[in-house]
């Protein structure tokens, strides 16, 4: 029986915001993989990308995913690129129901524009085009990895959390009991 929930999806889809609330409602540990990566590296994700490059970031991200997958009763909020390495998904799937939170490109752009967080992959002259290109490449990977898919585009965070909770019982191999 799986006891974890892993949230995947593009940046701005609501993984972190919904994940924290979901973990609280289900009385589960909350793990933010990006925070784990920063702690392991001793620097921000933006600095990892700038000084060490994306391959180093992805390597540390894989280590963090492996560690998180060993937890019991955790909601794991994954970075948007977690699906780029199939071994990350294989590792998470061993003990987690994987939920793909999706959102349209326009919604994502609006959400990330208002964020103070530096998004290294969107540091371009045309962030809307970058989002479109990245989404086109990643969407099939998200869909393939997902056990459950929820479109967050027109939903408030509590509606997203309630949809996740409503969908979990349809996934037979999850155990949400303490």
What per-residue confidence (pLDDT) applies to 96? Answer: 95
Which is more confidently placed, 131 or 96? 96
pLDDT, tens only, 125-177: 777 888 888 899 999 999 999 999 999 998 999 999 999 999 998 876 666 66
- The model carries a pTM of 0.90
Average pLDDT, the chain: 89
- Distant-in-sequence, close-in-space partners of 7: CB < 8 Å, separation ≥ 6: 15, 18, 19, 22, 75, 76, 77, 78, 99, 101
- Distant-in-sequence, close-in-space partners of 145: CB < 8 Å, separation ≥ 6: 8, 83, 89, 93, 98, 100
What per-residue confidence (pLDDT) applies to 10? Answer: 92
CATH superfamily of 4-170: P-loop containing nucleotide triphosphate hydrolases (3.40.50.300)
What per-residue confidence (pLDDT) applies to 38? Answer: 96
pLDDT confidence tier of residue 113, bands split at 50, 70 and 90: confident
The lowest-confidence range among 6-10, 29-33, 104-108, 123-127 is 123-127
- Per cent of the chain over pLDDT 90 is 70
What per-residue confidence (pLDDT) applies to 107? Answer: 87
Residue of 56, 54, 55, 178 whose CA lies nearest to 121 = 54
What per-residue confidence (pLDDT) applies to 130? Answer: 82
Mean per-residue pLDDT for 90-106? 93
Residue 75 has pLDDT above 80, yes or no: yes
């Amino acid at each position: 029986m799986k006891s974890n929930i892993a949230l995947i999806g593009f940046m701005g889809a609501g993984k972190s915001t919904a994940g924290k609330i979901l973990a609280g409602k289900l009385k589960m540990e909350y793990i933010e993989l990006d925070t784990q990566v920063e702690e392991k590296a001793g620097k921000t994700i933006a600095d990892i990308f700038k000084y060490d490059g994306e391959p180093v970031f992805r390597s540390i991200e894989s280590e963090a995913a492996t560690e998180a997958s060993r937890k019991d009763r955790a909601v794991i909020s994954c970075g948007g690129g977690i699906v780029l390495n199939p071994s990350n998904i294989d590792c998470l799937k061993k003990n987690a129901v994987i939920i793909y939170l999706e959102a349209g490109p326009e919604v994502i752009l609006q959400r990330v524009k208002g964020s103070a967080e530096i998004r290294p992959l969107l540091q371009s002259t045309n962030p809307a085009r970058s989002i479109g290109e990245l989404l086109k490449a990643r969407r099939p990977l998200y869909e393939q990895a997902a056990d459950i898919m929820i479109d967050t585009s027109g939903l408030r965070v509590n509606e997203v959390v309630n949809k996740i909770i409503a969908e979990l019982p349809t996934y037979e191999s999850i155990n949400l009991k303490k």
